[in-house]
Structure 1
Amino acid sequence: MFTVFNEELAQLAHGIRDRHQSFARGEWTEESLAAHQLQEFRRTIAYVKEHSPFYGRHLAACDPAAITSLSADELAAVPFTTKDDLRREFEAVLSLPMSKAWIFYETTGTTGRSTPCPRNNTDSLHNNTALTVYYDTIFRQFGDEQVIGVSGPTELHAFGDTFGDVCRNLGHAVAKMWPHSPMVGYDRALETLRVLPATGLFSTPGMALSLAKKAYAAGLNPRRDFNLDVLMCTGELASPSLLENIGALWGARAYNALYASQEASVMGAGGADGRLYTAPLLNLYEVIDPESGLAVEPGADGVRTGELVVTSLYQGSKPLVRYRTGDLVRLGAADPAATLPATSLEVLGRTRDGLVIGGHRISGYDLEELVLSRPRGYLDYQLVIDAVDGQDELTLHLEVPSDRDGVSVDESAIAEVVRERLDVPVTVEYGTLSSVTTTGAMVSWKAARVEDRRLATPDGERAAALALTSGRAQ
């Protein structure tokens, strides 16, 4: 309701809402969207050059008035922004002083220096409006009487504020709970979910599994003793098979709800049909070869695969220009039959999270989808890669309920698909897994889910993940 105290912001909010709703209804043409993106790209360049000390230097040679199109050739004349730039320049990247923000967030700092990510009202209005319009397509399936739990990673993360605001926009009650907090813990979070009872939950995929695991340990069955209709998963890699398993555990529909970062805010959001969509009123999207930095051309299927680069198309506290996300994506083409008239997006993991197994390169997303396409009903998983006599071998560790209720694992089918794709043997083992599997959102998918015994010592991210588990409430 803060906008009632500021007429300018109230007008801005109405305009943003109207644009996003019009876009979602399919009322924008390719030409009108391209014109909007070009206009806002040029405005962002001019804005950051004037207001950000870093960009004043970094883009000194860029004249926004000279940018006449968003072709690959013209974009290539604008230098990239990298994570190293953000860590080195710190507050110099900001386009507004902290006093002009309404809230302060920062990156986790588990694998590098934390960087400031303040948000002003302009930032939140743009991002939360896009999410409100996209999520309306999901939540309207489950009626009006909804209570949504929100379980985020830390208090300095946008998770709770963003989803709380979006649910308020949609008319749904919210309960924020932090199971890793020593003041809350898993038992209290589960009790809150039951007593409300919550009909939906925003969490990481790992948290959704952990809560199910803790429920079973307390003698509860997630499907029978809770009332969840929908799980909105974000913050970690989420293959379709993992989401299907999470939904089966809770007797609910699980969505890959959001692709975002503290630095770049919202880059993708889910729709009712289960796809993850770009937000082209918020960002300009590019796909580049991570090695050469050159634009990737679409394949015969219209899909571009490579590292995602985004530019903010709104001017707030910290707009980023041609920001290399470090994430490998598949960017599809718009589908007339889709829930939303935006391109679909599959996030395949960080570019450095790719693995070579049996001589075959595979992304984290595709590896997870491969090994989890057959098992259902598991509470947690981890992969071990070993080399025996020069031959790579995989072990899929699954943690399942003690009564194996709802568990279905076709080991021969898993072995067949892995052999076909990677030409390596796979063994399925069962047992309790350590809490390192819960660190994906804080460190990386690979650090949380993969133990690569081919390495003499754990890499830096794996070591950070192991260290992180010792300081969390379990």
Structure 2
Amino acid sequence: MYWNEKIETLKPDALSALQLKRLKKTLSLAQNLDFYRKQFKNAGIQKTSIKTLDDITKIPFTRKQDLRDGYPFGFFAVPLKQVVRIHTTSGTTGKPTVVGYTRKDLDTWSDLIARNMTMVGITDEDIFQNMVNYGMFTGGLGFHYGAEKIGMTVIPSATGNTKRQIEMINDFGVTAIHCTPSYAMHLSEVAEEMGTSLDSLKTGIFGAESWSESTRKALENRLGLTAYDSYGLSELFGPGVAFECPERDGLHIWHDSYLVEIIDPKTGEHVADGERGEMVVTPLVKEAMPLLRYRTGDITMLMEDGCLCRRGKKIARITGRSDDMLVIRGINVFPSQIEHVLLRIPEVGNQFMVYIDRINHLDEMTVEVEINRDSFSGELADLTRLQKKVVKELRDTLELRTTVTLVEPGSLPRFEGKAKRVIDRREAE
């Protein structure tokens, strides 16, 4: 099924011509930014330098740190009055990455979501429950507006209160859901505990964290639905960048809207189709915040073109990261964020360890941090207050619930080389 069959099934020559046209427009927009003007000057790039799609390799990469350095509006290519919405992603030192959208951007984004959902057979006859964060992260509103554009009935239930979520599914006859795969597994267990089935469900859209084929099978058996993988990145609009079709063998990335490269993360050189590397993306249809050769940090590969639905090359399921970012319950967390929070609290030291576990199919993070005896009395009541203070500071920065354990000074490991402060104990499912 197609939302826009003509654009989704463009022949290779027509697609390449459209990509080049949109790339040149994106390059023109990017020259409104001081960052890219300096990049172009340093690389000796002129307006006539980019004549073919292959010429994109002349352009330097854009990295996440560049976006952080541009906080708050340094990457907006249009006047602020044209930016009608702002989302943010987590930042490593307390400042988030800011993403802006014009009215056309929001329309384009919701259109991409509509493509994804239509591709797997979701229509205006469906009742859609959106069980993801509706805050500054992009997952909630992205799918919300795409679903409304199709015309389906949307239930913006957001996160939490699992029993109420289950009641809504049953009471409203929900046919399609969107959440993280770990939350979907938790949902199925709570439904079993409640002694209720979720018979109305037909389709599940799951993303924001890595998951495997065995998890897919378990979700489909427990929830009685067909499960699809979704991929997105706030810097590239949000969810909707790539999505599985009914074949469920790799994700279609919308090549009319995104120019995709796969590189060796160490050398920056292209790798061949079928070889894994870091995905680099140039969005071709963004107005407020054009990006050029953005290094996503996500490890995948381009798959050979041959899908029966004729939507072009797919990317393989994301298998890891080229940096130290963690994904906890769909939220991006960097160890440097945790360090930044702890350094603001004089009663604790600068030594800490992070443990990630999966308990009842939900990710849980525990932070062990040493007490600073020079700034702390050691009274039990004060220990409790300090523990609550650290929990609150981490929650306010990460927007994530954590468990905090205070330990004696000198009890945590010291590292001569690069510190390994994170131990991920989640088993692959």
Which residue of structure 1 aligns with residue 246 of structure 2? 272
Change in CA separation of 1:316 and 1:251 when aligned onto 2, cut-off 3 Å: same
Residue 248 (str. 1) matches residue 221 (str. 2): yes
Which residue of structure 2 aligns with residue 100 of structure 1? 82
Gaps in structure 2 of 5+ consecutive residues: 326-356, 367-396, 403-411
Which residue of structure 2 aligns with residue 52 of structure 1? 33
Q: Is the 8 A contact 1:87 1:113 kept in 2?
A: yes
Q: SS in structure 2 opposite 1:22? A: helix
Q: What is the CA–CA distance in structure 2 between the aligned matches of 1:230 and 1:31, rounded to whole Å?
A: 35
Output aligned runs, 1:356-367, within 5 Å.
none
Residue 123 (str. 1) matches residue 105 (str. 2): yes
Q: TM-score, normalised by structure 2?
A: 0.72
1:255 CA drift (Å): 0.6
Output aligned runs, 1:17-166, within 5 Å.
20-24=4-8, 26=9, 28-49=10-31, 51-60=32-41, 61-71=44-54, 74-90=55-71, 91-109=73-91, 113-140=95-122, 145-166=125-146
1:33 CA drift (Å): 1.1
Q: What is the CA–CA distance in structure 2 between the aligned matches of 1:322 and 1:456, rounded to whole Å?
A: 39
> After the TM superposition, which parts of structure 1 deviate over 4 Å for at least 4 consecutive aligned residues?
432-435, 455-463
Q: SS in structure 1 opposite 2:99? A: coil
Residue 260 (str. 1) matches residue 244 (str. 2): no
**Out of 159, 167, 172, which is 2:152 matched to?**
172
Write the letter of the residue equivalent to 1:318. M
Which residue of structure 2 aligns with residue 412 of structure 1? none
Write the letter of the residue equivalent to 1:81. T
- Bigger mean CA offset, 243-252 vs 277-286: 243-252
Q: Is the 8 A contact 1:23 1:341 kept in 2?
A: no
1:97 CA drift (Å): 3.6
1:263 CA drift (Å): 1.1
Q: SS in structure 2 opposite 1:153? A: coil
1:99 CA drift (Å): 2.3
Q: What is the CA–CA distance in structure 1 between the aligned matches of 2:253 and 2:81, rounded to whole Å?
A: 31
Q: SS in structure 1 opposite 2:235? A: coil
Q: Is the 8 A contact 1:230 1:254 kept in 2?
A: yes
Change in CA separation of 1:276 and 1:103 when aligned onto 2, cut-off 3 Å: same
Q: What is the CA–CA distance in structure 2 between the aligned matches of 1:211 and 1:434, rounded to whole Å?
A: 10
Output aligned runs, 1:349-388, within 5 Å.
349-352=320-323
1:268 CA drift (Å): 1.1
Write the letter of the residue equivalent to 1:173. T
Q: What is the CA–CA distance in structure 2 between the aligned matches of 1:322 and 1:290, rounded to whole Å?
A: 13
Which residue of structure 2 aligns with residue 364 of structure 1? none
Write the letter of the residue equivalent to 2:60. P
Q: What is the CA–CA distance in structure 1 between the aligned matches of 2:170 and 2:93, rounded to whole Å?
A: 36
**Out of 198, 213, 216, which is 2:174 matched to?**
198
Q: What is the CA–CA distance in structure 2 between the aligned matches of 1:279 and 1:268, rounded to whole Å?
A: 7
Structure showing the higher helix proportion among its residues: 1
The CA RMSD over aligned residues, in Å, is: 3.2
Q: TM-score, normalised by structure 1?
A: 0.65
Gaps in structure 1 of 5+ consecutive residues: 1-16, 355-396, 400-431, 448-454, 466-474
Residue 297 (str. 1) matches residue 272 (str. 2): yes
Q: SS in structure 2 opposite 1:57? A: helix
1:322 CA drift (Å): 0.4
1:112 CA drift (Å): 5.8
Which residue of structure 2 aligns with residue 322 of structure 1? 293
Q: What is the CA–CA distance in structure 2 between the aligned matches of 1:123 and 1:165, rounded to whole Å?
A: 12
Q: What is the CA–CA distance in structure 2 between the aligned matches of 1:92 and 1:44, rounded to whole Å?
A: 16
% identity of equivalent residues: 22
Q: Is the 8 A contact 2:130 2:156 kept in 1?
A: yes
